[in-house]
Chains A and B, each alone.
Chain A
């Protein structure tokens, strides 16, 4: 394991070490480090710090190993935040980690994901060069969009060292409503109805037991009126505000609902597959949360991971193993087993200095 202290040291380590190399950020997602081969691990936790924060521009630039809770603190002093709602912040996850893993939280529903907020990126390539893509301003179409490409790449094109992100002003106030729809079928129906409404939900989640949960945010003065009209959509709404409300989402984002022994898997889905997937998973010991309006399944899995791998494959889905052990972090059908991906890999990592896709 290497612990470089600077970008120059990363470059040196890359040149000198044996391939393939694997990067570790805050270590909150050990499942992503799963592989069969013997590898060189490079830990980036010392390459951290916010390099530039410009509240008036709604942008910041930070080193990849910077902890997200440090960033959140600085942003909130200026009433700003990262609306893609990064998960596992309280557990110590880093900016580079969340970007390389391509993870966004519940408010991805209302604002977009980490891919929609990344503006610029620097990375160390397999031959030790420091490369850049994107820029530092909020709008830019010059050159190829390498910043987006790196999202979800798990560091398999290079070692991400520096990231520029866009941020938004924080809402003045938030509130949450929950309904118990009794079962997943009813919950999905209700979720679809809400997702076609004119209400600007920040988050729209459902649980396998039929709970539907929505979050709104905005100006304090209008919040109660909005709550009242949303509550009319269906009887039985339970309303959460203030601290209780923010803690609820924070515990969801930090996966406090998982047992320690649980594996954690993210699966991108579409709303129409929720019921089918849920009925398959219900035969096993599995916790299921469907987030982002039925576009992301978070699965807490306690059975054999081989079984889940098969289930996902049969449904044509791809999963990402965040917590748990296996021979690969990618489960189910490959989402990027195509010529384009292969060409991109060949261009960015011609000598296979990093793990293969």
Chain B
């Protein structure tokens, strides 16, 4: 790394905030997708927004690539360091700057943990609705970059549906404020464009989030089915009946067994699939909806139905779902979390196709997914000390993505393109569509330094 750049970095922040020793850099070498690894030249940990702005300006001046990093839970390699650049770790920017209860919004810095927003507002009967399973650790900045979803986004929507305004430093160092405090706006929806831009448009410093009242009540049930197909069909029947649950989640037998072996959520281990459905809202309303839901569930071939009668029972049902990823770690040394979307009515047949792919490669796939919106998370299980198996697992995972595209779906529903899915972008978008996205990126980031090797495959800038 050129001396002058590092020195200048240390003019902005204290020495303590700049990590360069190999041992200090190791924790940053990958994110939630551990198959990719790279060591940055340095990691800088700014304490305040003004430092972030100065750091970005310095990077722009020297054409040094940077990768913004929240908690590094990205599952697509989004926060993978650039070997020729620096990582800007944003966890210290963790203040909730304003909590306006009457107007129902919160202004937070980008390093604030997702769940902390709800924690801070729950006393007032409000919460921040998007709830990625990683919500106890992931940051709002990371959520904004990926437009993250969660189990409850079927009714509430994704991050984008809850961000009202953003203060950002663009890759050229300009600071902009887009959007505002109102639910509505006039003029092009710039906030909508920024959310989901995966760090390519610069760093979101401050975010205005919409808060919504916590529901009066919940009704949650767990239904066991002999097969995945039946569980998938039940989801379609629920939608056809005009119900709008907040969450509909399916897990397959392999996942159920893993979950039961670790968290003991009381899932029937002989089931081909379990379906979790949750309704929320005014109690009198959801009681009526629940009657209708139960009827559909029984008619759809469920052989074992458990309804939660209190908060503890509800928590138990969710414990299994939330612990699913961790539980898979116990039955396999490593796994690839795939993320793709198919039209909801094709869930059953898509799962059958995944099964036959799994057989073809001789590799186990555990399915956990947001069934309500057709968002699949097939987890491809492999042994990471076996090179050949890793290769096969990657091939299998990529065949699943291709299947999603073939079925009229998309390559990612919530984990982003990052490093992992760059080569699939061309399968979804025409060359002209891709050109338009690249032109936009180049104008916003003329020196190609902001997470620039993500999303699109293109030649790298020299860096340092």
Interface of A with B (CB < 8 Å)?
A: 54-58, 79, 102, 104, 108-109, 112-113, 115-116, 125, 129-133, 135-153, 156-157, 168-170, 172, 192, 195-200, 218-219, 221-222, 225-226, 229, 266-272, 292-293, 295-296, 318-320, 330, 334-336, 338-341, 343-344, 346-348, 350, 357
Query: Contact at A113–B184, with CB atoms within 8 Å?
Result: yes
- Given the known A-B contacts A56-B240, A156-B188, A335-B186, are A198 and B284 also in contact in the complex, defined by CB atoms under 8 Å? no
Cβ-defined contact, B284 with A157, below 8 A: no
Query: Shortest distance in angstroms between B289's beta carbon and chain A's nearest beta carbon?
Result: 6
Chain A residues with Cβ under 8 A from B288's Cβ? 218-219, 221-222
- A115, A130, A145, A267: the one contacting B147 at CB < 8 Å is A145
Residues from chain B with Cβ under 8 Å of A346 in the complex: 443
Instruction: Judge whether A148 and B101 touch: CB under 8 Å.
Output: no
Answer whether A169 and B244 are a contact pair too, CB < 8 Å, given A139-B341, A143-B433, A296-B184.
Answer: yes
Which residues on the B side are within 8 Å of A153 (C-beta)? Answer: 187-189
B103, B146, B430, B437 interface centre (most CB from chain A within 10 Å): B103
How far apart are the CA atoms of A152 and B193 in the complex, in Å? 12
10 sample A-B contacts, Cβ–Cβ < 8 Å, listed by A number: A54-B343, A104-B184, A135-B428, A143-B437, A149-B192, A197-B213, A226-B284, A266-B184, A268-B184, A340-B178
**B101 cross-chain contacts in A, Cβ below 8 A:** 196
B152 in the interface (beta carbon within 8 A): no
Q: Are A139 and B428 in contact (CB under 8 A)?
A: no
Contact B186 A318 (CB under 8 A): yes
Rounded to whole angstroms, the CA-CA distance of A141 and B194 in the bound complex is 12
Give every chain B residue within 8 A of A130 (Cβ-Cβ). 432
State whether the Cβ of B227 lies closer than 8 Å to any Cβ in chain A: no
Footprint of A on B, CB under 8 Å? 101-104, 124-126, 146-147, 149, 153, 157-158, 160-161, 168, 170, 174, 176-178, 180-190, 192-197, 201, 213-216, 236, 239-240, 242-244, 281-282, 284-285, 287-289, 292, 341-345, 370, 373-375, 408-417, 421, 424-425, 428-430, 432-433, 436-437, 439-440, 442-444, 455
Q: Which residues of B contact A139 (CB under 8 A)?
A: 149, 153, 158, 341, 370, 373-375, 410, 413-414
Assuming the A-B contacts A102-B186, A139-B413, are A222 and B192 also in contact, with contact meaning beta carbons closer than 8 angstroms in the complex?
no
Contact A152 B104 (CB under 8 A): no
> Across the interface, do A339 and B174 meet the contact criterion of CB distance under 8 Å?
yes
Most buried by B among A129, A142, A149, A192: A142
Q: Please name all residues of chain B whose beta carbon is closer than 8 Å to the beta carbon of A218 when the two chains form the complex.
A: 285, 288-289
Q: Out of B158, B170, B410, which one reaches A339, CB within 8 Å?
A: B170
Q: How long is the Cα–Cα vector from A97 to B330 in the complex, in angstroms?
A: 53
Residues of A within 8 A of B421 (CB): 142
A141-B416, A144-B196 are contacts. A336–B285 as well, Cβ < 8 Å? no
Residue of A nearest to B191 (CB): A148
Tell me the bound Cα distance from A334 to B176 in angstroms.
14
State in angstroms the CA–CA spacing of A142 and B281 once bound together: 31
Contact B184 A347 (CB under 8 A): no
Of B161, B184, B216, the residue contacting A292 (CB under 8 A) is B184
**11 further contact pairs, Cβ within 8 A, besides A169-B239, A340-B174:** A57-B345, A135-B410, A142-B421, A196-B126, A219-B289, A229-B284, A292-B184, A296-B183, A340-B444, A341-B178, A347-B440
Given A131-B432, A137-B410, does the pair A340, B190 have CB atoms closer than 8 Å? yes
Complex: how many Å from CA A112 to CA B350? 31
Q: How far is the CA of A267 from the CA of B285 in the complex (A)?
A: 34
Are A192 and B193 in contact, with the CB atoms below 8 A? no
Query: When chains A and B are docked, how far (Å) is the Cα of A115 from the Cα of B189?
Result: 8
CB contact under 8 A between A169 and B242, given known A148-B192, A152-B189, A271-B103: yes
User: Closest Cβ of chain B: how far from A171's Cβ, in Å?
Assistant: 8
Chain A residue nearest in CB terms to B455: A143
B189 CB contact (under 8 Å) in A55, A151, A318:
A151
Q: Complex Cα distance A266/B281, Å?
A: 31
Complex-state Cα separation, A57 to B455, whole angstroms: 28
CB-based contact B181/A270 at 8 Å: yes
